[in-house]
Structure 1
Amino acid sequence: MGHGAGGDLSDEEWTRLEPHLPANRGRGGRARHRSDEALGRSRGGLTCKIHLAGEGGRRPLGFVVTPGQRGDAPQMIPVLEEIRVPRQADGRPRTRPDHVGGHKAYSSRRNRRHLRRRQIKHTIPEPRDQRANRRRRGSQGGKPTGFDKTIYRRRDEVERTVNRLENFRAIATRYDKRAYVFHGTVTVAAIRLWLRPG
């Protein structure tokens, strides 16, 4: 996701990061189940994901850490709920972006319904299987989703935010075993990105 530092939430974008992790082993050398610690099995082995909302200047706004095998679409709303942009005047922080753009992995009827209910414009491509399912249902499948290729090109801004986070070795490799410690590591890295000029 994306928006400006001055409280202007205009162009939000989404992405995910999947660092590969060394196996965490318990006594006897057997791998322990760690989904409660945001560790889980995926094709890359024992991994985790960082679902990230970022503004156009390659700085994170909010994130959620999940096990590697968790689906992406259910994480969109929790990440949106992490965004808090203070207003220059007094008042509650701003939590609703003007526009959300994201990877097709975040496409779901539930997410689109949530964005429409909150009156948030969005640019999220519809995967081929969802498009075929909608057509198969006919008039009950709903209207085709709008998609603006020009706006979608800005999604690379959040990819670059992820790349900047991956420059921190502690995030790229995740040595932290506990989820709350890793969450703190990502938070510190995000603060450093906000403090860096440019």
Structure 2
Amino acid sequence: SPVDRGRPGSKHHVIVDRLGTPLAVSLTGGNRHDVTQLIPLLDAIPRIRGRRGRPRNRPKRLFADRGYDYDKYRRLLRQRGIKPLIARRGVVHGSGLGRTRWVVERTFAWLHQFKRLRIRYERRADLHQGLLELACSIICLRRLRRSF
């Protein structure tokens, strides 16, 4: 199990937009907690051009599961002008975040269609990171193809 703290393995961390297009991705060891990658992922989001004016480089809202439920990180998100919509630990399921979280889970399913990402064959993390970024590029290309 990749979430078992005592075993070797790797985790993929990804931030996506509302359509499931990956904006930032990182790779960590399987024994690292998810919340440690929240701020580095937010910093890795590139500037997004849109309407006239300065390009956006941060989202307005951030949806996350219970693994990110820490007051320290909620404060850090608010200081950056991001509204945290994070499920609370210890509360029964049914918070309604599942209606928006499925987009992230679908992106993970798209990433794990690539067998080299689903089963890690590479010993070196930089090679696996490169394959992860290549898979994100292919997903972005597929999204662009559908839009034209």
Question: What TM-score range do you get, normalising by the shorter chain?
Answer: 0.7 to 0.9
Partners of 2:41 and 2:124 lie apart in 1 by 20
Gaps of 5+ in 2: none
- CA shift at 1:94, angstroms? 2.6
1:158 maps to which of 78, 100, 104: 104
Partners of 1:151 and 1:126 lie apart in 2 by 11
- CA shift at 1:90, angstroms? 8.7
2:132 is matched with which residue?
Answer: 186
1:8 is matched with which residue?
Answer: none
Gaps of 5+ in 1: 1-17, 21-40, 132-147
The alignment partner of 2:8 has SS state of strand
- CA shift at 1:155, angstroms? 0.7
Is 1:59 aligned to 2:21, yes or no? yes
Is 1:84 aligned to 2:46, yes or no? yes
- CA shift at 1:190, angstroms? 0.2
Q: Is the 8 A contact 2:117 2:132 kept in 1?
A: yes
Residue deviations 1:119-174 (CA, integer Å, cap 9, x gap):
2112101212xx8xxxxxxxxxxxxxxxx944552110010000000000010011
Deviates more, 1:154-163 or 1:57-66: 57-66
1:112 is matched with which residue?
Answer: 74
Give the greater-gyration-radius structure (CA): 1
* Amino-acid identity (%): 33
Partners of 1:90 and 1:157 lie apart in 2 by 28
Is 1:171 aligned to 2:133, yes or no? no
Number of residues of Structure 1 aligned to a counterpart in Structure 2:
142
Taking a change above 3 Å as real, the CA distance of residues 64 and 57 of structure 1, as seen in their structure-2 partners, is same
1:101 maps to which of 55, 63, 75: 63
Partners of 1:89 and 1:177 lie apart in 2 by 43
Q: Is the 8 A contact 1:123 1:152 kept in 2?
A: no
Taking only aligned residues, the RMSD between alpha carbons, in angstroms, comes to 2.5
Q: Is the 8 A contact 1:103 1:124 kept in 2?
A: yes
Partners of 2:84 and 2:19 lie apart in 1 by 19
1:6 is matched with which residue?
Answer: none
Taking a change above 3 Å as real, the CA distance of residues 84 and 92 of structure 1, as seen in their structure-2 partners, is farther
